[in-house]
Amino acid sequence: MTYRASKAAAIQFTKSAAIELGKYGIRANTIFPGLVKTSMTQGLPDHLMGLIPLHRPGAEDRAGRPEDVAALATFLASPKASNITGAEITIDGGKSIRFPTKFQDYTAEIAKYKKVVGHA
């Protein structure tokens, strides 16, 4: 519940900032990255890192990379994004729209992970 409340607050703050700061030519957008493969996420199970195929035709199944988020931030800061403000952009390879549809999608992978970390 706390996560959802803070995310909603970030969205509304972004919209308010876009309204208030727009008159000064300042744009405000929020980037919501999914899990990104870094040293901090090393060791998380494959189903969380998006390494289990999601079967999305034409889409690469992989964990996010720091350079994915950096590329979006660079674009939003550039003149090419001059008409984008007040937006919340999720960058997670589509995982938030299908992650998972059913818990059973990852049952085998979760069981395998539990054996690796010593949880029976």
Residue 19 sits at φ, ψ, to 5 deg, of: -70, -50
In sequence order, what are the beta bridge partners of 36? 64
Beta-strand ranges (E) seen in 1-120 are 30-33, 88-91
This prediction's pTM: 0.69
For residue range 80-95, what is the model confidence (pLDDT) as tens digits? 999 999 999 999 877 7
Domains, the chain, with CATH or none: 2-113 (3.40.50.720)
Is 3 marked active-site? Answer: yes
Catalytic residue among 3, 24, 106, 113: 3
**Per-residue model confidence as pLDDT tens digits over 4-46:** 899 999 999 999 999 999 999 999 999 999 878 888 877 776 6
Contact 65, 92 (CB under 8 A): no
Tell me, rounded to whole angstroms, the distance of Cα 27 from its chain centroid. Answer: 21
